[in-house]
Structure 1
């Protein structure tokens, strides 16, 4: 049995765009043609490949086909580039590379590496932001080709490289600390003081509270789901939180922030990518790893 590339590519387009109509515009065919291709592929494989929701999403079987479609598209692009050809817009037409990146990485150190890579290679990046503990799910589903993750164990069909460690410390403004703490914060004081979380999957502050013996479930919480805004919220005194050195070293040195004490939390980061013989993916990995070596703790 074979999986026709055109049908697999159509499925990937539907998943990317979220609707049959949007995929038809991208592929420049009618919505009916898109629907017929998906039905033909499902009949051929004997599997339901899409959940017809809004937006549509791939089933577990569909994710396997989407991943195959992306891999074939990348390899086709590189083969055509070696011939000095392109499938539509002439030599050097960029290919989209989807990556999964956690918010703090996106907000601090990785963008210079991606900018340099895009200047040297015909690529554009489709960045998916998620917590570093969950980015591998996007790899498994075929949504992205590579990810910054906290998981050292490779996803099936992927390879792993070590990036380094992001170190976080609990900090607050002097005014906030004076209002809520009598000195070095006690567990009881930390249970009452407002804390800033990135979102409900952010467990850095919870980990710190548990380590120092505070009741993590009782602490009042602000939720600020953007890396820069999260840091700004802490620097404005909205609450205390865990910040990496990129976002706090200057303020700690000037006295605009104070460290609350207790242990730092080190988050190891890894680069996982599809295990393909792809010069382009290899170049991206080398660029990201090199930037991480400059920016992160070893």
Structure 2
């Protein structure tokens, strides 16, 4: 049976996590040449390339599998000890969530874990249609996603539905949508989207008007800033009702399509790794999401 070189795995993980050999060496308290040597030995043992020497370095498919294994082993090892000794690295858990969950209900879910200081949580943001890729590649322990595909070795739990409304400032609505949201209007009015992965607006426009071609749009990848930009009249956009309800009540935003909305089911996927920290995190994510989502 082939023996796993965990010093080599630690070096591999650090290079990818920190984005350079220099920073990985500093994190591991060894020299850069030692990091390179450990990875070369690991690649010789594996019989294939594990890192693409780009800027920043990126793992090959085989390298990503080894990193996923290493991170799962670290989580399991952390469960063997109630608390790390002084000077010993604390266990880390990485999760991926969509920005709208991070801006609304996630803080309540992670408070018990993060406030204790016994475990370090790394929260990575991506579109809800893409977070499952991070889980599949082993980059995170769990993710909030809209995808229903099952990944071997993981469990999935429905969280509820995040409802999105199409909103704008009153002045913007009066200027660009005097006759409501029509296919002609959406070809002229600037949309505010989160980033190139954001498909919510495209889906809603097609659902509402049947229009599926190009429309003008701005992009601003900040969930909190997104609300302020829409309120400022820079564009119209899709916002979760959890986030825009106060502005709707205050009159700084208006619903462009009253009674029409877009529902996005969210699911919690996690590797089947049972430790006190992962159980606490998972239980809180599920219970908090179900408290706030439809």
Task: Please report the TM-score for the alignment, with normalisation by the length of structure 2.
Answer: 0.94
Match of residue 53 from structure 1: 54
Pairing 1:8-157 to 2, within 5 Å after superposition: 8-81=9-82, 86=85, 89=87, 94-120=90-116, 122-157=118-153
SS at match of 1:53: coil
Task: Please report the TM-score for the alignment, with normalisation by the length of structure 1.
Answer: 0.93
Whether the 8 Å CA contact 1:50–1:56 is kept in 2: the answer is: yes
Is 1:283 aligned to residue 280 of structure 2? yes
- Specify every segment of 5 or more residues in structure 2 that has no aligned partner in the other structure, as ranges: none
| Residue range with higher mean Cα deviation, 225-234 or 259-268 | 259-268
Deviations 1:125-155 (A, max 9, x none): 1111110111111112221111111112222
Is 1:211 aligned to residue 212 of structure 2? no
Whether the 8 Å CA contact 1:102–1:130 is kept in 2: the answer is: yes
CA deviation after TM superposition for structure 1 residue 215, in Å: 3.6
Match of 2:170 among 171, 174, 189: 174
- Specify every segment of 5 or more residues in structure 1 that has no aligned partner in the other structure, as ranges: none
Deviations 1:38-95 (A, max 9, x none): 11111111121101111111100000100111011111111133xx664x626xx632
Match of residue 242 from structure 1: 238
Whether the 8 Å CA contact 1:192–1:218 is kept in 2: the answer is: no
Whether the 8 Å CA contact 2:143–2:268 is kept in 1: the answer is: yes
Alignment partners' CA distance in 1, 2:202 and 2:43:
44
SS at match of 2:80: helix
Cα distance, 1:124–1:85 mapped onto 2, change above 3 Å = closer
CA deviation after TM superposition for structure 1 residue 293, in Å: 1.5
CA deviation after TM superposition for structure 1 residue 231, in Å: 1.2
Alignment partners' CA distance in 2, 1:153 and 1:66:
22
Is 1:189 aligned to residue 190 of structure 2? no
Whether the 8 Å CA contact 1:117–1:287 is kept in 2: the answer is: no
Deviating above 4 A after TM superposition, structure 1's stretches of 4 or more consecutive aligned residues are none
SS at match of 1:97: strand
